[in-house]
């Protein structure tokens, strides 16, 4: 009796540890330059891949090189203090150290390219970035969360023959 209670308790706590209140969900670090996705992606409706062009060709979507920003900001809003940080960095040939928001453990192999090719909306995983002044991790990014999507899409008859997201271990773990 007591023993079973203890066992149940143990299981519960283990489950809790594994059930994602230890994930980075809600993580919203400050960035060296207060770049606003709400402004660029939201108001100005810039295509995500205009800056994150890596997403279509590589596992890494990548943070855009400073020269991409400078493409516009050579002459747009050059006066704003945040842009000045940018221009200084370029002038001093000093790379900008952004703080990473979304991050998977390195035993997980994730490819943006594959998901872009499958026409998955960026927001599906990253949340409504176009509304965020400062980017936040919206989802748990746990394995269960990934599989949920993979399974439901595979199960959807509409995707038969078109999409079959893998659920093999080696799709992400190699």
Q: Which of residues 29-58 bind other proteins (CB under 8 A)?
A: 29, 47-49, 53-54, 56-58
- Chosen residue from 14, 34, 39, 44 binding other proteins by CB under 8 A: 14
Residue 170 found at the interface with other proteins (CB under 8 A): yes
- How many other β-carbons are positioned within 10 Å of the β-carbon of residue 102? 17
Burial class (CB in 10 A: 0-12, 13-18, 19+), 15: exposed
Count the residues of the shown chain that bind other proteins, applying the rule CB under 8 A: 83
- Chosen residue from 75, 81, 97, 161 binding other proteins by CB under 8 A: 97
- Chosen residue from 5, 79, 81, 119 binding other proteins by CB under 8 A: 119
Please give the residues from 120 up to 149 whose contact with other proteins meets the rule CB under 8 A.
120-125, 127-128, 138-140, 142-149
C-alpha angle with apex 56: 143 to 144, nearest 5 degrees? 10
Tell me the window of 35-43, 76-84, 119-127 that interacts with other proteins (CB under 8 A). Answer: 119-127
The label of the residue with tokens 């402004």 reads 39
Number of residues that this document lists for the chain: 174
- Chosen residue from 41, 96, 132, 161 binding other proteins by CB under 8 A: 96
Tell me the window of 33-41, 59-67, 74-82 that interacts with other proteins (CB under 8 A). Answer: 59-67
Burial class (CB in 10 A: 0-12, 13-18, 19+), 59: middle
Beta carbon nearer to other proteins, 42 or 127 = 127
The Cα–Cα gap between 122 and 29 comes to 20
- Chosen residue from 38, 46, 84, 90 binding other proteins by CB under 8 A: 90
Task: Report DSSP letters for 102-113, one per residue.
Answer: S---TT----HH
Please give the residues from 69 up to 88 whose contact with other proteins meets the rule CB under 8 A.
none
R_g (Cα) of the chain, nearest Å: 20
């Amino acid at each position: 009796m007591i023993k079973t209670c203890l066992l149940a308790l143990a299981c519960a706590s283990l489950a809790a540890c594994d059930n994602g209140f230890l994930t980075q969900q809600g993580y919203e670090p400050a960035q060296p330059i207060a770049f606003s996705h709400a402004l660029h992606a939201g108001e100005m409706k810039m295509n995500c891949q205009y800056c994150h062009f890596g997403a279509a060709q590589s596992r890494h979507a990548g943070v855009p090189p400073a020269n991409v920003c400078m493409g516009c900001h050579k002459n747009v809003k050059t006066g704003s203090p945040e842009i000045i940080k940018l221009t200084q960095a370029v002038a001093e040939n000093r790379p900008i150290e952004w703080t990473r928001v979304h991050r998977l453990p390195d035993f997980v192999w994730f490819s943006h390219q594959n998901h872009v090719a499958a026409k998955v909306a960026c927001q599906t995983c990253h949340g409504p970035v176009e509304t965020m002044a400062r980017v936040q991790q919206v989802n748990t990014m746990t394995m269960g969360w990934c599989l949920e999507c993979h399974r439901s899409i595979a199960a959807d008859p509409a995707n038969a023959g078109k999409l079959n997201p893998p659920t093999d271990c080696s799709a992400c773990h190699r």
